[in-house]
């Protein structure tokens, strides 16, 4: 428990090596500790915090890790070039990114997020294609087959995607199944998939699976991510930017 309190997330393999104990014994101990509500077991290890994410209002989430989201958003905005066609999904981290987008020439942005579109309206060089559908009040974004139909007729260079959870085995996920389905359609319409996620999203999973990590090209996160997770992401062939 002392090791877990320090590292937040830990693998059975690591504990077995550190404590000179068999993996079978470690797994039994983790089960016992979970029964006593001291930790949460994950695939191949344990976490001090619940790996499952519940739906929360965007108004609440915007103020969580706001500094980290701003640094991630700034780094993501720097990847955008003039005359590109890009997709921006919904979420507080991509909303932070929208505030830093300032093209000198024309830029076309497809988005499902109402708050992102309102932020982008401040720049006359940005042309916005707002996806249509049913509005999710908690995320200030649209979902449904109307949005997916529009995406089938578009081809963009980059998708900037904000997620609720990143699990190295499970992949990317969000709290709403319909939003996850829309995100899948966005991935199909984009050449490069860039995920914006602060370090607290790693090791978490939510109800709606978006995709596996094999469909991700680049991840932008903050300096609080563990070095072990960074190395595992690189080993998967995914580029990763860690902001300071």
The pLDDT tens digits for 127-174 are 999 999 999 988 899 999 999 999 999 999 999 999 999 999 999 999
- Structural tokens at position 198: 């602060």
Whether residue 12 has pLDDT greater than 70: yes
Residues 124 and 227: beta-carbon distance below 8 Å: no
Cα–Cα distance for residue pair 140/117, rounded to 1 Å: 10
pTM of the model: 0.80
Whether residue 56 has pLDDT greater than 60: no
Whether residue 58 has pLDDT greater than 70: no
- Looking at residue 39, what is its pLDDT? 85
Which of 2-11, 23-32, 203-212, 223-232 is the least confident region?
Answer: 2-11
- Looking at residue 48, what is its pLDDT? 82
Whether residue 54 has pLDDT greater than 90: no
- Looking at residue 62, what is its pLDDT? 60
Reduced to 3 states (helix: H, G, I; strand: E, B; else coil), residue 93 is helix
DSSP string, 20-81: T--HHHHHHHHHHHHHTTS-EEETTEEESS-SB-----HHHHTTTTHHHHHHHHHHHHTT--
At residue 73, φ and ψ (nearest 5 deg) are -60, -40
């Amino acid at each position: 428990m002392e090791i877990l309190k320090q590292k937040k997330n830990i693998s059975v393999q690591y504990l077995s090596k550190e404590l000179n104990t068999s993996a079978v014994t470690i797994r039994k101990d983790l089960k016992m500790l979970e029964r006593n509500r001291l930790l949460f077991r994950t695939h191949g290890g344990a976490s001090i915090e619940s790996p499952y994410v519940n739906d929360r209002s965007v108004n609440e989430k915007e103020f969580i890790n706001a500094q980290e989201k701003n640094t991630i958003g700034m780094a993501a905005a720097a990847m955008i070039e003039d005359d590109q066609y890009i997709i921006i999904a919904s979420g507080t981290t991509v909303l932070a990114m929208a505030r830093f987008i300032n093209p000198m020439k024309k830029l076309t942005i497809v988005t499902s997020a109402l708050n992102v579109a309102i932020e982008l309206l401040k720049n006359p060089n940005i042309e916005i294609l707002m996806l249509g559908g049913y509005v999710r009040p908690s995320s200030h974004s649209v979902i449904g087959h109307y949005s997916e139909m529009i995406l089938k007729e578009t081809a963009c260079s980059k998708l900037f995607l904000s997620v609720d959870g990143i699990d190295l085995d499970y992949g990317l996920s969000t709290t709403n199944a319909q939003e996850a389905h829309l995100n899948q359609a966005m991935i199909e319409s984009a050449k490069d998939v860039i995920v914006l996620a602060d370090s607290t999203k790693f090791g978490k999973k939510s109800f709606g699976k978006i995709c596996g990590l094999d469909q991700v090209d680049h991840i932008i996160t903050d300096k609080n991510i563990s070095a072990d997770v960074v190395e595992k992401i690189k080993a998967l062939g995914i580029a990763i930017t860690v902001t300071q």
